[in-house]
Amino acid sequence: MAKSGTQLQWPEIAGVISDLDGVVYRGNAAIADAIEAFKSWQRAKLPFCFVTNNSTHTPEDVVRKVGGFGLSISPRQVVTSAITAAALIRAQYPKLTRAFVIGAPSLAKAIEEAGLEVTDAKPEVVVMGLDRQITHDKLRIAAAAILGGAVFIGTNPDLLLPTADGFEPGAGAMITAVAAATQVQPLIVGKPETHMIEAALSRLGTPRQSTLMIGDQIQTDIQAGKRAGLPAVLVTTGVPPRKDAALLPADFTVSSLSEIAVKAGVDTVRQRRA
Ligand SMILES: [Mg+2]
């Protein structure tokens, strides 16, 4: 059972990996305590990196958004499922050159920047993320390519996304449709898989056992953090936690990031750099 409250025994913290939506902001509204916490960690030179399943924003979009809340970060501090999908294709399928993309312009941009041509002509890999302009024609091209042997990659498994007035289908719902049609299971990039956590860890260069994973969803953030071997903190500012005995529990539960004590880790970071 996760411990909660201020009596927590925090591990030595050398770095932080954090989710964005529901942790740093809700929609377009900042979560003030979280912004203050990240600003204080920044002053203390505690390295941190954000990881988001959202493939419809570039790292630069995120930099602008949190900058508007008074937190100044660099694009290197943002790992998106789009960027990670592109890196994964380069690493695991270096010979592929033609990709069909169903997703936002940010996803196509990430795939192009990884050196692939985005095309519907003989694609060797199909990459699917959230596409609010999805059509039957796009689904047809994707299914035909996958049935013809193209690699099938999904940016994230989220089935449902919260909106200002309810919910909308997430990328996972459309990815599931293509998987059902083709009977081919995609390689999923986003949380709860660990690809983005590993990408963030390699950017931070911090040991995993002293890098905190912070998130508001047990089924994605906490599973990804725990599977990657990180101590995981559930913050109750986002999606209400769902009880599911099959899921790995968080190590800590907080109602505000101000409850996270980082002093020991900060001293360590300073000593190491001194
Ligand atoms: Mg979240």
pLDDT tens-digit profile of 61-72? 999 999 999 999
pLDDT of residue 170: 93
pLDDT of residue 272: 45
27-31, 167-171, 257-261, 266-270: the lowest-pLDDT one: 266-270
- Cα–Cα distance for residue pair 1/9, rounded to 1 Å: 14
Helix axes 105-113, 81-92, angle to 10 degrees: 30
The rounded Å distance from CA 237 to ligand 1 centre is 9
- C-alpha angle 254-11-269 in degrees, rounded to nearest 5: 115
In the predicted structure, residue 265 carries a pLDDT above the cut 50: no
Given pLDDT bands bounded at 50, 70 and 90, which one contains residue 101?
Answer: very high
Angle between helices 81-92 and 195-204 (to 10 degrees): 90
Interhelix angle 171-182/136-147, rounded to 10 degrees, is 50
Name, in order, each residue with C-beta under 8 angstroms of 176's C-beta and a sequence gap of 6 or more. Answer: 159
| pLDDT averaged over every residue in the chain | 91
Distance 141 CA to ligand 1 centre (A): 31
pLDDT, greater one: 167 or 235: 235
CB 249 within 8 A of CB 218: yes
Average pLDDT over residues 8-30: 90
Tell me 229's DSSP state.
Answer: T
Query: How far does the centroid of ligand 1 lie from the alpha carbon of residue 95, in Å?
Result: 34
Q: CA-CA distance, 48 to 32, in Å (whole number)?
A: 18
CATH topology of domain 3-53+196-273: Rossmann fold (3.40.50)
**Structure token digits, residue 129:** 């993320």
Tell me the percentage of the chain whose pLDDT exceeds 90.
Answer: 80
The CA-to-CA distance between both ends of the chain, in Å, stands at 38
- The half-sphere exposure of 98 on its side-chain side, counting CA atoms within 13 A, is 11
Mean pLDDT of 84-93: 96
pLDDT band per the 50, 70, 90 thresholds, residue 267: very low
Which residues are close to ligand 1, an ion, with C-beta < 5 A?
19, 21-22, 216, 238
Looking at the predicted structure, is the pLDDT value of residue 266 above 70?
A: no
Q: Which CATH class is domain 82-188?
A: alpha beta
Q: Does 21 participate in catalysis according to the annotation?
A: yes
Residue 164 has pLDDT above 90, yes or no: no
Residues of the chain with CATH 3.40.50.1000: 3-53+196-273, 82-188
| Active-site residue, from 19, 131, 221, 251 | 19
Model-wide pTM > 0.75: yes
Residue 239: pLDDT over 80 = no
Kind of pairing between the strands at 29-30 and 25-26? antiparallel
Give distance in angstroms: CA of 215 to centre of ligand 1: 6
Is-catalytic flag, 120? no
Question: Does the pLDDT of residue 246 top 70, yes or no?
Answer: yes
Q: What is the pLDDT of residue 163?
A: 76
pLDDT of residue 214: 98
Report the binding-site residues: 19, 21, 191, 216
